[in-house]
Amino acid sequence: MNDSLAGKFRAMVRVGHGMRFSLLDRSRTRHGHPETAALHHSVDRAIAAEGAGYERFWVAEHHAVPGIASGSPAVLLSAIGARTARIRLGSGGVMLPNHRPLLVAEQFRMLEALYPGRVDLGVGRSLGFTEPVRHALGRLEADSDSFAREIAEVRAYLEGAAPLTARPDDAGDVPLFVLATGSGVDTAAALGLPVVIGGPILDSPDLPARLAAYRRAFRPHRGGAPEVIVSLDALIADTDEAARELALPEIWAMARSRSTGVFEALEPVARIRAMTWSATETRRMEHGLATTVAGSAHTVRRWIEQILERTGAQEILATSSTFDREALRASDVRLADLLH
């Protein structure tokens, strides 16, 4: 990105012009709470996010993962839509290898009919968390070509351009977004769709070049333009140290999952600190803390400015979670305040 464009995005974050902030909630379970509570926690967080002025509230799809309660974005979004009035509702995302395109289109057309002008459909190509889950879902692989065909099929149903009509046929438009890892950026460009990037790809040295290629190769569909959304963990507290403590529960669960194969419920920080970490777990925790946007408002603002300089993104989709729900609510409000 050239200096003038980088300066533009720095200013955009500083004054809040043109930037959008949104939340992605994974319905994380918490130690000492029933799994069902996680779904109610997601609804409560969406209500608070609307009050804080967020653009959208997205939910995820995970199957048979112990630490995550939601396997059906459409069902959870319907519950959230009934308790909110303005905030956009979406999936981050529906994993197309697990579904037939017609069913996905029908679910999101129904949501759009119930909550007009508020529904987004983010799609990804990730398979199940473990091999038994992949077998249960009936899909063991998903290449980029089949992913592109399935997105195009979903879009045809949503736009009324398929041989069959997805009902209700008078529902409004449902915007599509591609959750991209690897070749997903190229798929989004070829289909003329916004792209959501996150995870390891954000640390890739060739990310600016890949996004420049996305913008060059973008094939507009119905007047669409290239759009980049960055998904990242972001937590704000009074101090950098306090925010890093908030990040520990999610990082600990991820570090443990790589050893145990089980993505566990979020633990209280004090309980994690009292445990004996192996050398491998210590390295994983240090890496997780180094790659999480956690700090004071000043620190997080500076980090987001750097991300915008590298990506030219129009929106930040915060994906963070922690055990302490009140601290998470306060962090969400402070993150929204960076925009306002």
pLDDT digits (tens, 9 = 90+) for 53-81: 999 999 999 998 889 999 999 999 999 99
Confidence grade of residue 27 (pLDDT, cut at 50, 70, 90): very high
CATH of residue 53's domain is 3.20.20.30
Strand 195-198 and strand 228-232: the pairing is: parallel
Q: Using CA atoms, how far apart are residues 328 and 322, in angstroms rounded to an integer?
A: 6
Residue 309 located in a structural domain: yes
Tell me which residue has tokens 């905030």.
Answer: 87
Calculate the average pLDDT of the chain: 92
Q: What is the pTM of this model?
A: 0.92
Q: What is the pLDDT of residue 238?
A: 97
Q: What is the pLDDT of residue 14?
A: 46
Residue 228 located in a structural domain: yes
Residue 264 located in a structural domain: no
Confidence grade of residue 205 (pLDDT, cut at 50, 70, 90): very high
Which residues does 50 contact at the CB level (< 8 Å), separation at least 6? Answer: 57, 84, 85, 86, 87
Residue 246 located in a structural domain: no
Q: Which amino acid is at 273?
A: R
The mean per-residue pLDDT over the stretch 193-211 comes to 93
* Residues 201, 228 contacting (CB under 8 angstroms): no
Residue 278 located in a structural domain: no
Residue 244 located in a structural domain: no
**Helices 325-339/297-311 angle, 10° precision:** 60
Confidence grade of residue 1 (pLDDT, cut at 50, 70, 90): very low
Q: What is the pLDDT of residue 6?
A: 43
Confidence grade of residue 252 (pLDDT, cut at 50, 70, 90): very high
The mean per-residue pLDDT over the stretch 29-47 comes to 97
The mean per-residue pLDDT over the stretch 194-223 comes to 94
Q: What is the pLDDT of residue 75?
A: 98
Q: What is the pLDDT of residue 258?
A: 84
pLDDT at position 7 over 60: no
Residue 39 located in a structural domain: yes
> Under DSSP, is residue 100 helix (H, G, I), strand (E, B) or coil?
coil
Q: Structural domain tally of the chain?
A: 1
Supply the range of the domain harboring residue 145.
3-236+296-339
